[in-house]
Structure 1
């Protein structure tokens, strides 16, 4: 019955757009726990990990004592070698928010299983919603192998897929991790990372990762801003250059001309709350929020090198949003040109937010 049920689940999931599937147990991931604690101690973790304790992430039964199996699914979102024409957004941000899409599909899988096994069947859906080490679970379930960029690679879809899990109260036969990986001696991703966030194979400093920085609240560190290039949300560089992902389809946004990008960046910087919700509702950009996106757009504009943009963005030195004021100041200083230093000095004199004022001071010292 178990093998038959497992194959029925696999077939059903594949039919609704979840072609990647594996099963693991809720047993503790004891090898992972000390690694997560070490990351925290070395300050390599991201701001989003603060309240997710290593013990809970590595011990599924802490949150789900009734669990007997964990079904791991992958939903592909990009084709290997296909070009991303949007440039300023990572590929995963271009469609509907994957949390919603994956949860809808996993709900269908859960209800399908319930029809097969009866009303006593119990399940919970996890898509970035519980303190679970989802990537480690998927690896253990044979979904993929670890790349040196710390992403999971599936033999057929590369790293271009989302993860989601069903925690269930019936036991199914576990799958085994995949043997080996495709990295071998390749370190292209490590060498290509714009900020050096990939410190060494399989070690990521999340506080330097552009993808993390463009999502995190607060002020972007000064030493990261120039390296963001034109990116407004996310970063695909370590995936774009990877031979396993069909590398060579395009250059990084850092090297594109700004002709097609600048109008989009100006639109994002000037966007109203109503316009933002109308255009980006149901996407991960809406999850990040208008403030974060406008902050990032101002930095990206500063990286275009177009001094003619200063008159177009200087009004945001007095924007209602302190994040936008601070990062527009950096952009004006970075672009330079006639009058930019004076614009900054006047904005600094009028600024009442002490944190923003300090950011402006740092910018003035750099100009």
Structure 2
């Protein structure tokens, strides 16, 4: 297998391109030693996301802790984000939420890559596929494999596709020639992403507070912190602001254009009232199904509160009695945020029958806003 060398790598590159994976690079399975103290510090400062809390940092940075047989890591990028009718795209969802679930699509493509390599090198070939589902630091590996450079928003930028691409890896038991990281400062003095972030999640260049990131907030379980709700705008799942304003991602957009169309409030009401059956029928095969109906309805309630449309209050009053306490609580916030005499009346009525202490606290807060 040693003699296959660069020939095998180019065969893999050509095959990957033929199945829709035009971004490809190779790195070793060596530890990401410089990253460990960075992640430790982030955890100590509580800048990591809730999804990272149970992951062992050493294991994340040392692939051979999980795969002792690993020799090389093949890193792939799958572009996304182009729409024929850009002006009518629903901008309450991040671009990646509007396509088929990338976990599924990418994994299927990488299975084909694995099978293709096995056909070339024989039965002793061993591999493992990772697509945002195993606690390795994918972005750092992709950077080391030369797929792109880091932007100040901490995303990886490819020279051809900008930041609009998904990552996936095939960990293999054969050594392949490693690629070099891209040595460039793509951002230079630009700080558009830092200025555009509504929550201040991009603390400074190359430093992100994941717990303030709208994309992370819209996916995280539980109650959304009060101080972040208004800053979420109309985002229901994910957020593209720091990418949309970036000059490397093509046409630049103003921050205002990232928000609602005239009928946003009515789309949000539809989402709030969607049944489980309707939800699965409409969003089956997308990452929205992974998040689940409860999280999406919670986010829709917050977004509705940010529309300023008081006339919507009667259409969501019944949600103050919804079976889901998460929906009741965030609907209460929305009603309080929209405000007015009617808001105060229906909130007091809901408070009288509410049994959940956390929801009651939310209603109390909502009443204080009316």
Q: TM-score scaled to structure 1, two decimals? A: 0.97
2:91 aligned with 1:87: yes
Match of 1:226 in 2: 230
Match of 1:107 in 2: 111
Aligned equivalents of 2:189 and 2:182: distance in 1?
18
Alignment map for 1:1-367 (pairs within 5 Å): 1-79=4-82, 83=86, 85-249=89-253, 251-252=255-256, 255-257=259-261, 259-367=262-370
2:75–2:167: 8 Å Cα contact kept in structure 1?
A: yes
Aligned equivalents of 1:322 and 1:41: distance in 2?
32
Aligned equivalents of 1:105 and 1:252: distance in 2?
37
Aligned equivalents of 1:253 and 1:282: distance in 2?
28
1:80–1:246: 8 Å Cα contact kept in structure 2?
A: no
1:229–1:253: 8 Å Cα contact kept in structure 2?
A: no
Deviation string 1:346-367 (CA, Å, 9 cap, x unpaired) is: 1112111111111222222232
* Deviation for aligned residue 1:153: 0.3
Q: Secondary structure, in 3 states, of the residue corresponding to 1:207?
A: helix
Q: Secondary structure, in 3 states, of the residue corresponding to 1:44?
A: coil
- Structure 2: 5+ residue stretches without partners: none
- Residues 283 and 326 of structure 1: is their aligned pair in 2 closer, same or farther, counting only changes over 3 Å? same
Deviation string 1:79-99 (CA, Å, 9 cap, x unpaired) is: 499836111100000011000
Aligned equivalents of 1:82 and 1:263: distance in 2?
21
* Deviation for aligned residue 1:43: 0.4
Aligned equivalents of 1:246 and 1:360: distance in 2?
44
* Deviation for aligned residue 1:248: 2.0
Q: Secondary structure, in 3 states, of the residue corresponding to 2:341?
A: coil
Aligned equivalents of 2:351 and 2:341: distance in 1?
18
* Deviation for aligned residue 1:247: 3.8
Q: Secondary structure, in 3 states, of the residue corresponding to 1:163?
A: strand
1:194–1:227: 8 Å Cα contact kept in structure 2?
A: yes
- Structure 1: 5+ residue stretches without partners: none
* Deviation for aligned residue 1:255: 4.4
* Deviation for aligned residue 1:265: 1.0
* Deviation for aligned residue 1:338: 2.8
Q: Which moved more, 1:67-76 or 1:176-185?
A: 176-185
- Residues 327 and 106 of structure 1: is their aligned pair in 2 closer, same or farther, counting only changes over 3 Å? same
Aligned equivalents of 1:156 and 1:321: distance in 2?
44
Aligned equivalents of 2:305 and 2:196: distance in 1?
22
Q: Secondary structure, in 3 states, of the residue corresponding to 1:70?
A: strand
Number of equivalent positions: 366
* CA RMSD after TM alignment: 1.5
* Deviation for aligned residue 1:249: 4.5
